């Protein structure tokens, strides 16, 4: 049976999502239930956790053990930031970024969320909307996740009460009205019993919406890829120097947003020179048009000096700002706090430039969303800053373009990634 159903996989899309919630909210159980009921768990995995459940003196199968951690984590009682899990249904393939809760939450969630199209926020029906639920929603919104699913879990412990569910939904709605999501859905569920995860169950008959899996399978995959602005950061210049390809000079990279067609007029940034696209080349041969996120090779009509770090954009349309100073929201990830006296490296698309953070405008308290003035940014802080750049960056705002509005900050001394950055344009306040 499965073999026939799986044929459709080729045509399925890929949905990346993140689960937000602490252990107490039943996150591990939910993921375990999703994997189990969608038949994505293998027999040897099931045997292993059945065995462990019994060894711990419990009955049945504790599905939360499926996401049990590494030896290092078990021994030291810590949880390593992000684990990636994979499952597929006949309709779609899924990548789950599973991030643990607790104190390092901001760092973990921002990391997992950076590639996600959807976030599931778990709420314990007994506890209702907590400070941390608000925090999760804010972070998901900050990183630009388009779709939010609010899973009101443990409905079995509140007598499957419709009123409880609706009260939580209304409270959450009031809070998220100020945040930016394409859609927010609310699902009552019991991950423990499997109600409304994959199967509907019998206890929540008053709920008429989709189960979690139905939603995951059908929600439009809003990659938030900007479809208008062509952005092509040059990764690698291909010059084969062979006899038959003596003059071939191909610019290799990935279409980060928009599309490009043979004959289009393009501008090279930061130099500002213009030319036309001669060929769009792939391994399979030349094509007429390429779209994001295809990795391709471009050749151009003129001999221009183009190298890694340059960006091709379509002439005459909205182009990135060539900037030596930019405003950004930083999420500080390192145990070493931001040092305003030091220089750091910024990696933005394929450019790496030196930077100094010249000003911290404010820190955002992610529990209250209040802005406060601070002297530095510590691990898990989110702040609005101004960067001075030694060479120009080609800046789009993160809101307009996730691919060309994001960057990382690297500590030159120890090579660690110390911050995640999102470029803001002047009129964006949050």
Partner 1 sequence: MSILASDVQERTGTSPDPAAQGNPLPFRHASVKRLNHLDALESEAIHIMREVAAECANPVLLFSGGKDSIVLLRLAEKAFRPGRFPFPLMHVDTGHNFPEVIEFRDRRVRELGERLIVRSMEASIQQGRVVLRSENQSRNAFQSVTLLDAIEEFRFDACIGGARRDEEKARAKERIFSFRDEFGQWDPKNQRPELWDIYNTRVHPGENIRVFPISNWTELDVWEYIARERLEVPRIYFAHMRDVIRRGNGLLPVSHLVQPQEGERVERVMVRFRTVGDMSCTCPVESTASDIAEIIAETATTRITERGATRMDDQTSEASMELRKKEGYF
Residues 193-222 that bind partner 1 (CB under 8 A): none
**262 lines the binding site for partner 1 (CB under 8 A):** no
Strands 417-424 and 183-188: unpaired
| Range in contact with partner 1 (rule: CB under 8 A) among 122-130, 194-202, 260-268, 279-287 | 279-287
Residues 6+ apart with CB under 8 A from 356: 340, 342, 343, 344, 387, 388
**394 lines the binding site for partner 1 (CB under 8 A):** no
Residue closer to partner 1 by CB (options 168, 255) is 255
Residue closer to partner 1 by CB (options 413, 429) is 413
Binding to partner 1, residues 336-365 (CB under 8 A): 345, 347-350
Residue closer to partner 1 by CB (options 149, 418) is 418
We find the least distance from the C-beta atom of residue 277 to partner 1, in angstroms, to be: 16
Residues 6+ apart with CB under 8 A from 260: 230, 232, 266, 277, 280, 289, 290, 298, 312, 314
Please tell me the count of residues contacting partner 1 according to CB under 8 A: 78
Instruction: Give me the sign of the Cα torsion angle 94, 62, 112, 148.
Output: positive
Binding test (CB under 8 A) with partner 1, winner from 131, 183, 218, 295: 295
**4 lines the binding site for partner 1 (CB under 8 A):** yes
**78 lines the binding site for partner 1 (CB under 8 A):** yes
CB 257 within 8 A of CB 291: no
Binding mask 301-320 for partner 1 (x = CB under 8 A): -------x------------
Binding to partner 1, residues 237-256 (CB under 8 A): 238-240, 242, 245, 248, 250, 252-254
Residue closer to partner 1 by CB (options 47, 367) is 47
**429 lines the binding site for partner 1 (CB under 8 A):** no
Binding test (CB under 8 A) with partner 1, winner from 56, 285, 305, 373: 285
Residue closer to partner 1 by CB (options 96, 125) is 96
Residue closer to partner 1 by CB (options 110, 198) is 110
**287 lines the binding site for partner 1 (CB under 8 A):** yes
We find the least distance from the C-beta atom of residue 111 to partner 1, in angstroms, to be: 5
| Range in contact with partner 1 (rule: CB under 8 A) among 18-26, 151-159, 208-216, 293-301 | 293-301
Would you mind telling me the total number of residues written for the chain in this entry? 430
**Among 308, 287, 288, 329, CA closest to 425:** 329
Binding to partner 1, residues 399-428 (CB under 8 A): 402-403, 406-408, 410, 415-417, 420
**43 lines the binding site for partner 1 (CB under 8 A):** yes
């Amino acid at each position: 049976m499965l073999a026939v159903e799986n044929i459709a996989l080729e045509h399925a899309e890929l949905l990346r999502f993140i689960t937000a919630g602490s252990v107490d909210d039943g996150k591990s159980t939910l993921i375990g239930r999703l994997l189990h009921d969608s038949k994505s768990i293998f027999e040897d995995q099931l045997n292993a956790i059945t065995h462990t459940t019994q060894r711990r003196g419990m009955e049945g199968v504790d599905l939360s053990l499926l996401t049990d951690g590494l030896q290092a984590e078990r021994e030291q009682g810590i949880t390593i930031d992000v684990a990636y899990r994979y499952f597929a249904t006949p309709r779609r393939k899924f990548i789950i970024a599973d991030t643990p809760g607790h104190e390092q939450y901001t760092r973990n969630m921002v990391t997992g969320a950076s590639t996600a199209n959807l976030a599931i926020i778990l709420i314990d029906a007994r506890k209702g909307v907590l400070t941390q639920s608000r925090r999760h929603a804010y972070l998901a919104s900050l990183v630009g996740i388009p779709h939010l699913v609010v899973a009101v879990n443990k409905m079995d412990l509140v007598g499957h009460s419709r009123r409880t569910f609706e009260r939580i939904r209304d409270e959450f709605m009031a809070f998220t009205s100020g945040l930016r999501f394409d859609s927010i859905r609310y699902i009552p569920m019991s991950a423990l019993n499997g109600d409304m995860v994959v199967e509907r169950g019998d206890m929540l008959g008053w709920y008429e919406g989709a189960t979690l899996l139905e939603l995951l399978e059908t929600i439009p995959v809003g990659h938030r890829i900007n479809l208008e602005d062509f952005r092509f950061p040059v990764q690698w210049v291909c010059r084969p120097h062979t006899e038959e390809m003596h003059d071939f000079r191909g610019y290799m990279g990935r279409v980060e947003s928009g599309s490009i067609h043979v004959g289009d007029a393009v501008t090279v940034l930061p130099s500002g020179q213009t030319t036309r696209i001669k060929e769009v080349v792939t391994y399979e041969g030349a094509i007429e048009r390429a779209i994001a996120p295809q990795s391709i090779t471009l050749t151009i009509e003129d001999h221009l000096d183009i190298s890694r770090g340059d960006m091709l954009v379509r002439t005459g349309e909205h182009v990135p700002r060539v900037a030596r100073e930019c405003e950004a929201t930083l999420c500080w990830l390192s145990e070493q706090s931001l040092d305003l006296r030091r220089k750091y490296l910024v990696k933005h698309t394929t450019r790496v430039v030196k930077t100094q953070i010249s000003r911290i405008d404010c820190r955002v308290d992610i529990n209250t969303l209040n802005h406060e003035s601070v002297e530095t940014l510590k691990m898990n802080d989110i702040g609005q800053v101004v960067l001075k750049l030694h060479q120009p960056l080609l800046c789009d705002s993160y809101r307009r373009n996730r691919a060309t509005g994001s960057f990382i900050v690297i500590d030159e001394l120890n090579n660690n990634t110390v911050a995640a950055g999102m470029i803001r344009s002047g009129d964006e306040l949050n």
